[in-house]
Amino acid sequence: MIDILLDAFTAIDRVLWGPWTMVFIAGVAAYFTVRSRFFQVVRFPYIMRNTIGKIFQKTDDTNKHRITPFQATATSLAGTVGMGNMAGVATALSVGGPGAIFWMWVLALLGMMSKTAEITLAVHYRDVEDDGRTHGGPMHYIQKGLGWKFLALLFSGGILINSLFSASLLQAHTVGRALWVSYSFNPYIVTGLMAIVTAVVVLGGVKRIGQFSERVVPLMSALYLLGGLALLVVNIDQVPAVVGLIFQHAFSPVPAAGGVAGVAVAEAIKQGMSRGMLSNEAGLGTAPMIHAAAQTEHPFQQGLWGAFEVFFDTIILCSMTAFAILSTGVLSSDVSGIELVIAAFSAVFPAGLAEAGVSLCILTFCLSTQIGFFFYYETAIRTLFGPHAIKYLKWIYFLPGVLFAGVSHVDQLWVVANISVGVTALPNLVAMVVLSGVFFKLMKDYLSGERAYDTAITDRTKRYLRAPKAEVERTRT
């Protein structure tokens, strides 16, 4: 019975994540890029100045239910920076060849604008309670901007499943099995400790989640980047050849040689775009939920952090993994996934040190993902069952990782996580396109200095922009 069910899930996953889905995701990102006149490229210095350039700028942090713009970004990155940056990139290279990295870059460049758009919309349409507590995300702009309640519920259901399977269960299981294989640590103890740490952080509210993320995410990212940079310094003479391989095989197939199977250009495009998208989550609708809780003056001002997120996650972190693997020549070995990353670092550092370093990164990346996703889980519960249900249902989030810690193979459950991501991505992308006019109006309002839709005004008046009826009806038909 279980095998039949898994086969059915696999069939659904194959249809849901077929080529048309990737074309749609890339098409939406390209649409926002072209209509914004390539804002993320032309105004890239402006984006950096107004995001990471203002990281130390003081903001009002007296509201215990609000977080700073950087804390929102760090929490969002806590949910995205993880196995996708390491094992995901390694898989893309193994299956799609070096050319996959070029297409990963392309989608990231386009995705910088689509993530800016979804975060901007989330901040504009957020709910603000009397005590300053905020709730927002795609479920809010789908319902408020379009009036499509069913689509909002569908999105929330996908987030609920994705949080339980991908973040709570699979992230903890990955750490438990990795430390069991490397150091014989009891996986139940490992996942149990992860659950306790997660509970201590998230039950303190969004403020504590933001404070945790702004400390841990930069630290764990810096650790991984320093290790990668040290590796590249040792292999600096290989860097030009690596760049050449990436561009060469982005447009020409990889021949079968040296133990590596041949790879077609179509496979390079598919692997690069899919792994990149699942890594930075541009257009998937997760990041907008945490960004809606940010203390920011204008929706588009917070949206700029979305562009920074995609750039840092994919162009910086994913590229570091790719260059580490390609510069050390381990791609021709028989290993794949996280073992390929360990092999790359072991080619330069002592094997024990490399394995310990990668294991530490796996632990921190997966733990931060588990913590970051709790906020999405809580937001989904609020939409589906009401705010009072959180009091009881929040405890379920901490259980899956511990319950399945001793099960050696749960890889097939990734297909459930993939389906839930598709169920959230498609409604979000449709809503983004229909509400694109609203986004560009907010963008113009901020850049022109008019500031008629500052958050202080919209949060107080609750007067939200709506998509023109003609666009909504055209989409429905």
Q: Based on the structure, what is the number of domains in the chain?
A: 1
Sign of the torsion formed by the C-alpha atoms of 130, 136, 139 and 142: positive
Q: Which amino acid is at 37?
A: R
Domain-located, residue 10:
no
Dist CA 178 CA 149 (whole Å): 42
CA distances in angstroms from 180 to 86, 131, 187, 294, 398, listed in the order given: 19, 45, 6, 39, 20
Domain-located, residue 131:
yes
Domain-located, residue 98:
yes
Domain-located, residue 167:
yes
Block residue for tokens 């890339």: 26
Domain-located, residue 353:
yes
Q: Which pTM does this prediction carry? A: 0.89
Residues in the chain: 477
User: Containing domain of residue 410, as a range?
Assistant: 17-476
Domain-located, residue 4:
no
The CATH number of whichever domain residue 250 belongs to comes to: 1.20.1740
Element (H, E) at 135: strand 134-135
Domain-located, residue 308:
yes
Domain-located, residue 7:
no
Q: Is 441 exposed, middle or buried (0-12, 13-18, 19+ CB in 10 A)?
A: middle
Dist CA 440 CA 465 (whole Å): 11
Q: pLDDT tens digits, the chain, 477 residues: what are they? A: 556 766 777 788 777 777 788 788 889 999 999 999 999 999 999 999 998 887 766 665 555 667 888 888 888 887 777 667 777 788 778 777 888 889 889 989 999 999 999 999 999 999 887 777 788 899 999 998 888 898 999 999 989 988 888 778 878 877 887 788 778 888 889 889 999 999 999 888 888 888 888 888 888 888 888 988 999 898 898 889 989 988 888 887 666 544 445 566 777 777 777 777 777 888 888 889 999 988 889 999 999 999 999 999 889 988 998 999 898 888 877 766 777 888 888 888 887 888 888 888 888 888 888 888 898 999 999 999 988 888 889 899 998 888 877 776 665 666 777 777 788 888 999 999 999 999 999 999 999 999 999 998 988 888 888 776 545 544 454
